[in-house]
Amino acid sequence: MNSTKRLFRMFFIFLALPLCISLDTITPNQPIRDDKVVLVSSRNVFALGFFSPGNSSKRYIGVWYNNVPNRRVVWVANRDNPINDTSSGLLAIHEDGGLNIYGKDSNIPIWSANITLCWPNNTMAKLFDTGNLVLLDNNNGSQRVLWQSSDHPSDTMLRHMKLGLDRRSGLNRYLTSWKSQDDPGTGNCTYGVNPNGFPQLILYKGTTLLWRFAIGCLGGLNHKSVLSYVNNENEVSIMYNEADEVTGAVVEESGVVRRSTWTDDQWTTLRFTPWERCDNYGSCGPNSNCMSYNVNNDLDCMCLPGFEPKSPTDWNKRVWSGGCVRNKNGTSLCRNGEGFVKVELIKIPESSTAQVDRNVSLKECGRKCLRNCSCMAYSSIGDGKVTTCVTWHGDELMDTRTLPNTGHDLYVRVDAIVFGKVCSLDYATYALVFHYFKKEILK
């Protein structure tokens, strides 16, 4: 009898354990039930469990900073498929080895990692101190990654998390905003990598491009963190490697990407994008350069060499959106004495359709562009190891702006007349002359 009582006592203790313990691993025999168990990473940096955002009563599985007040969620599994009650939620490893979330119907998952194994008994899911939830095949003492949350981000980019394209698998990792503070569903803003041409970081709101920057030129952003950029046959990606564990970049539904860190018991914004009017995509229209030097952050636009305002009337009214067109009195740009004018310290134009050649010197890049009559401009981008020749073709150079104290040189094709007049001046002097006459016109 005593042995029977002892077994019952141990049984009830076992049932009670999930109410008071924290784990960092889910196994087939140890699921996560709503309000029963919370996963906590080994050094208590991140936690995972069920939560309700804002004023909502709907339930989601999420990952959040464990030691930061006012829970800040960095990843949501079932963001578009919430559970509508607070008692039925279950995160479990299925008998096929996959990771699923269940609601009231324990037979049909509302969310799944979509993994099926022939030998599922050794599957486990572990929460790491990077905030990454990883599904592992723990077989014969070796662990194989089957799935990880960092490959399917929500609205937050954490350190050691990649954004960009895995060219081998076709997986493209990008952020999407929450719909609202009460709804973590897929929102309207996306932030990620466009791998085409010369790869760029891009920020969209719906189908509208709000901001972009060529990744190979990210030094121009003056990031206060360590940023690694990879572009090879396997992938094109970026990743932050800062030491501070509680740091992340969030894409907000308003159309801003805000990078913050938790210091001195408060969130401190390191940077947000777009951060000034010249950051907004195409502020000055095509074939122009945006310069916001004044304290009021007003736009100040000028045409690139060889171009003139499409509508002088609009430009005199400081309505810049029409941009610039080729000088009407210009001559042929094809083997007719044309040349290039250097525009210094700029954010290079939109480059998704640009042509890219690696290991090409600046001089050869210029020759390559000159030989091709459709080439409008070129730039030589170096990362300390490889020099990349980027050339633009067509009728428009879009979203160029001057950067303070940094940036790259852009060589713009001009006809023989403009080349003779402007090439004797550096672009800075040309810009000063332009602004003097513009101010005279505006008086």
CATH, residue 8 = 2.90.10.10
Between 152 and 276, the more confident residue is 152
The answer to whether the beta carbons of residues 365 and 380 sit under 8 Å apart is yes
The domain boundary, picked from 152, 170, 194, lies at 152
Which parts of 206-256 are beta strand (E)?
208-214, 227-231, 235-240, 247-251
List the alpha helices (DSSP H) in 304-361.
312-316
Q: How far apart are CA 438 and CA 289, in angstroms?
A: 14
Tokens of 312: 């002088």
Query: Side chain identity at 201, as an amino acid letter?
Result: L
Tokens of 412: 């713009």
The answer to whether the beta carbons of residues 150 and 46 sit under 8 Å apart is no
Per-residue pLDDT of 47-99, as tens digits, reads 999 999 999 999 999 999 999 998 999 999 999 999 999 889 999 998 888 89
* Same-domain check for residues 315 and 295: yes
* Residue 12 phi, psi dihedral angles, 5° rounding: -70, -35
Per-residue pLDDT of 30-51, as tens digits, reads 999 997 779 999 999 999 999 9
* Same-domain check for residues 129 and 168: no
Per-residue pLDDT of 108-140, as tens digits, reads 999 999 888 766 668 899 999 999 999 998 877
Tokens of 71: 């829970």
* Same-domain check for residues 71 and 218: no
Domain count for the chain: 3
Q: How far apart are CA 82 and CA 52, in angstroms?
A: 9
Given a cut of 80, whether residue 295 has pLDDT beyond it is no
Q: Which residues of 110-145 are buried (b: 16+ CB within 10 A; e: fewer)?
A: bbbbebebeebebbbbbbbbbbbbbbbbeeeeeeee
What CATH number is given to the structural domain containing 182? 2.90.10
What pLDDT does 19 receive?
40
* Same-domain check for residues 5 and 148: yes
Q: Which residues contact 48 (CB under 8 A, 6 or more apart)?
A: 32, 38, 39, 40, 61, 62, 63, 64, 127, 133
Positive/negative CA dihedral, 410, 413, 414, 416: positive
Per-residue pLDDT of 389-435, as tens digits, reads 999 999 999 999 988 777 899 999 999 888 876 554 455 555 544 44
Percent residues over pLDDT 90 in the chain? 62
pTM given for the model = 0.87
pLDDT mean over 372-400? 92
Residue 281 is assigned to a structural domain of this protein: no
* Same-domain check for residues 61 and 183: no
Q: Which structural domain, as residue segments, surrounds residue 173? A: 153-275
User: Parallel, antiparallel, or unpaired for β 375-382 and 324-326?
Assistant: unpaired
* Same-domain check for residues 72 and 110: yes
CB-count burial class (<10 Å; 0-12, 13-18, 19+) for 223: middle
* Same-domain check for residues 326 and 393: yes
Residue 353 CA to chain centroid, in angstroms? 19
Residue 282 is assigned to a structural domain of this protein: no
Per-residue pLDDT of 141-194, as tens digits, reads 778 899 999 999 999 999 999 999 999 999 999 999 999 999 999 999 999 999
* Same-domain check for residues 157 and 147: no
Residue 280 is assigned to a structural domain of this protein: no
Q: Which residues of 287-320 are buried (b: 16+ CB within 10 A; e: fewer)?
A: bbbbbbeeeeeebbbbbbbbbebbbeeebeeeeb
- For residue 261, give the nearest of 75, 72, 32 by alpha carbon: 72
